[in-house]
Structure 1
């Protein structure tokens, strides 16, 4: 029997699955890790420990516990957080920690510099993206300006998936979807790297080779086989960023279908029939040639619940904390007894693109409980998500179907607040293991053992979260206050 391996490295956890040709999960494993925050506005991972180390750990664990013959694995797919920037030397060794996605806001000066030099309109027209903290390009430039000794030794700039794949195959590879986040050095019109918008800044030969997501980039080397327990010669696909693999895992395949991922961030992907030119959204080619995607995100979602648990619920055991907090939030009414939380604890991504935005709890008095505060945090994330959905509508891309995925969907308060605030029906698939499941499916696609529509069999829809009309007025009032408070506090941050 053939099997397919998928591994995904998230912000706080790595997950892996081994599945059969009909999507049955026969092995799974997970390993937690931490985000490194050396100073405010920075976010990093240790690439050796958190990316490759986790891949090796979960793969060996699954093989050992399932006793599956490694030779039965027909293909391997990996995904990881992104866009990230990891400079490596000529042997592929990391020269520093990996710089993470939009939660890392260190390159604001470089963003301003590139905008001034190129022109914001030109960047949007040529790259289909406004420059923001989500872009990898300014972070490469930050390294050049602030870590010249590292920059001088950098043979390649990789992202997280690229690094894992290099360790597996020895190939420097990146998929077009991931590369599309490297504004201003990736031009969608050319489907390729180019420094014509910023000549003389970053040499293009330092970029990884471009592939489509399901292209086989190489095969497991003897060294990687020894480290991981995989069979030498197993095909490895280019893979992608975790959110895209997550969208695959819930069957987002056609224009108008949207994935809403409840993770460390809220990340949203909608497949579109054409390139979307909207400064308040991100654009990238989709995983397959000829398709497009419009993306958006709330930078602090699951990370906000992690923060709340650590700071406000240290009396609870880690195993029970989130369950207890959700129970307490359920006891608080919609609107959290007047509390409003701005969830911009790591700045604001789409549609505000404001790295200086700050988190805030407004309206506290002596009657409020911890449950009120936790509910207000979840509702704040929901209101920021509503702002994003309105942006899609303004761009002429209202979602036709919304598929929700991620650990946060297990919170009835959070998921219902999203549907009520955004006025959308969220569909839930049977399996919620996430991006690693999508990786395994992409691996099966790559070797011709699956078709895109097969996800309906691999992972059928089993439930819906529908908006409650009775709560619409409450959340409309809350949304007006939410937006108004953000604008009011801007001068004081």
Structure 2
């Protein structure tokens, strides 16, 4: 049996086909842009997601040499928090406003004022931040009234692709729980908050468990993608939760460290745990009747991408001619630099920051620059700074009494042995590498497998399909260097600088 997973990411769509033993048969991806018509805005065209999805599905099917009827089911994963507005003609009313958008800062204050800070935090179990669906809808109501009045349904990014594939409007608990319009404790839309904000309750879709079959490939979608009409499609999950499934982080005590465009430290909760100081997020897991604790930083791999795009043109040219990933070249350069970068420290706040500071006005920077520092130091400092920021999140988990027994590396950053070793040394924990790198798409495929009975449970799916291929153990001499820098310097930089941004 074969399963397909789709991940509607921030920079591209990824399509993966796997068999029930976890062997990836084919993969394909296609990029699309982020538009920023005004500084601080971040938008994408949902129809470009669909075009990229169609092309990637066709490419994966062609590469697999399978008949599309051999695909038993399809699962969806996608970037979280974003807002897609659909009119009655089932077409987008405007470009999607995605998670990294900052236009709704003032609406976050309005949210607290209207609902009440204590009540809001008790219900949604998360701080109110720009880029999430709740404040975004308030901004649209106040600034684009014609668009707001034309809303038929409000969807999350992956759910728009489901609509195009099946004609069904639906979402899942994990993705809905990250909108700030959801009662995380009771696992349903919060009628109280939606009413208080004067939003149309009927616009919010029905919610399903991530493994539930909610529709099937329509005849029209079959003609556009090459998928077999009638193929079951499950609800799927937000990319963090789907990625956790794809790397096996579905039990308490197991954490994942994701270095993708953004970064997350993630762990599973059997019982609801909420940070009273609202420094980290609590969402519903893709695993039924479980929650997850997540620390999220906004500029993880994005920080290294910023450096690549602005200061690594030679690596991009060499990579294109030699078929070597430019990031591999950058990682190799960074290996030549000693741990700690001779005192050069990077703050990865290029888009502001979420965990633990929840400060959209925070700004990135390099600290400790001297004449002795070279280009290679900057590369390694970026890699180390991202992990220091993730360590901030991990410390909050420990403060809340959440025990972490092992950490699994996820995302594009997990491809770099150096970045995995930096995590092992800064986290002071072994870092596990699993076989499949595109874990969100892989997790979506596993959710589909559970939905159609290929696996009897998520635990069975992860046990049968996920393979560990390596472990980076901490180097305790390097770990002590990082521990000193983290405690004596890094942790003091944000509180010292925050009043200047």
CA distance in 1, matches of 2:41, 2:169: 26
CA distance in 1, matches of 2:186, 2:316: 52
SS of the residue 1:456 aligns to:
helix
Superposed CA offset, 1:185-209 (max 9, x none)? 2112332213313525211111111
Q: Which of 467, 472, 476 is matched with 1:469 structurally?
A: 476
Superposed CA offset, 1:194-225 (max 9, x none)? 33135252111111111111111111111111
CA distance in 2, matches of 1:143, 1:402: 40
Residue 75 of structure 1: how far off its partner (Å): 0.8
Confirm or deny: 8 A CA contact 1:389 1:398 kept in the other structure: no
Q: Which of 255, 274, 277 is matched with 1:277 structurally?
A: 274
CA distance in 1, matches of 2:354, 2:184: 21
Match in the other structure for 1:313: 312
Confirm or deny: 8 A CA contact 2:315 2:330 kept in the other structure: no
Superposed CA offset, 1:17-43 (max 9, x none)? 112222222221122223223232222
Confirm or deny: 8 A CA contact 1:171 1:217 kept in the other structure: yes
CA distance in 2, matches of 1:432, 1:200: 40
Match in the other structure for 1:232: 229
Q: For 1:25-40, what aligned pairs fall within 5 Å after superposition? A: 25-40=24-39
CA distance in 1, matches of 2:121, 2:405: 26
Confirm or deny: 8 A CA contact 2:421 2:474 kept in the other structure: yes
CA distance in 2, matches of 1:55, 1:161: 11
Task: Confirm or deny that 1:190 pairs with 2:220.
Answer: no
Residue 316 of structure 1: how far off its partner (Å): 2.7
CA distance in 1, matches of 2:499, 2:250: 43
Match in the other structure for 1:486: 494
* CA pair 121-364 structure 1, distance change in 2 beyond 3 A: same
Q: Which runs of 5+ in 2 are unaligned?
A: none
Q: For 1:258-273, what aligned pairs fall within 5 Å after superposition? A: 258-273=255-270
Confirm or deny: 8 A CA contact 1:344 1:357 kept in the other structure: yes
Confirm or deny: 8 A CA contact 1:194 1:204 kept in the other structure: no
Match in the other structure for 1:157: 154
Match in the other structure for 1:406: 411
CA distance in 2, matches of 1:401, 1:147: 47
Confirm or deny: 8 A CA contact 2:171 2:206 kept in the other structure: yes
Q: Which moved more, 1:320-329 or 1:88-97?
A: 320-329
Match in the other structure for 1:86: 84
CA distance in 2, matches of 1:188, 1:315: 48
* CA pair 470-200 structure 1, distance change in 2 beyond 3 A: closer
TM-score (norm. length: structure 1): 0.96
Q: Which moved more, 1:276-285 or 1:297-306?
A: 276-285
Match in the other structure for 2:199: 202
CA distance in 1, matches of 2:58, 2:305: 28
Residue 65 of structure 1: how far off its partner (Å): 2.6
Q: Which of 448, 453, 467 is matched with 1:448 structurally?
A: 453
CA distance in 1, matches of 2:215, 2:224: 17
Superposed CA offset, 1:64-123 (max 9, x none)? 23231111111111111112101111122112221111x222211111111122232222
SS of the residue 1:105 aligns to:
coil
Residue 249 of structure 1: how far off its partner (Å): 0.8
CA distance in 1, matches of 2:328, 2:70: 39
Match in the other structure for 2:389: 384
SS of the residue 2:293 aligns to:
strand
Confirm or deny: 8 A CA contact 1:214 1:238 kept in the other structure: yes
Match in the other structure for 2:422: 417
Q: Which of 174, 199, 205 is matched with 2:171 structurally?
A: 174
CA distance in 2, matches of 1:223, 1:90: 19
Superposed CA offset, 1:118-162 (max 9, x none)? 232222222211212353211111111122121111111111111
Match in the other structure for 1:9: 8
SS of the residue 1:283 aligns to:
strand
Q: Which of 29, 49, 52 is matched with 2:50 structurally?
A: 52
Q: Which of 373, 376, 380 is matched with 1:368 structurally?
A: 373
Q: For 1:210-359, what aligned pairs fall within 5 Å after superposition? A: 210-278=207-275, 279-317=278-316, 319=319, 320=324, 321-359=326-364
SS of the residue 1:317 aligns to:
helix
Q: What is the number of equivalent residue pairs in this alignment?
A: 489
CA distance in 2, matches of 1:344, 1:249: 28
Confirm or deny: 8 A CA contact 2:265 2:390 kept in the other structure: no
Residue 323 of structure 1: how far off its partner (Å): 2.2
SS of the residue 2:191 aligns to:
coil
CA distance in 1, matches of 2:130, 2:431: 29
Confirm or deny: 8 A CA contact 2:108 2:128 kept in the other structure: yes
CA distance in 2, matches of 1:317, 1:14: 22
Superposed CA offset, 1:320-340 (max 9, x none)? 532222122111111111111
Match in the other structure for 2:67: 69
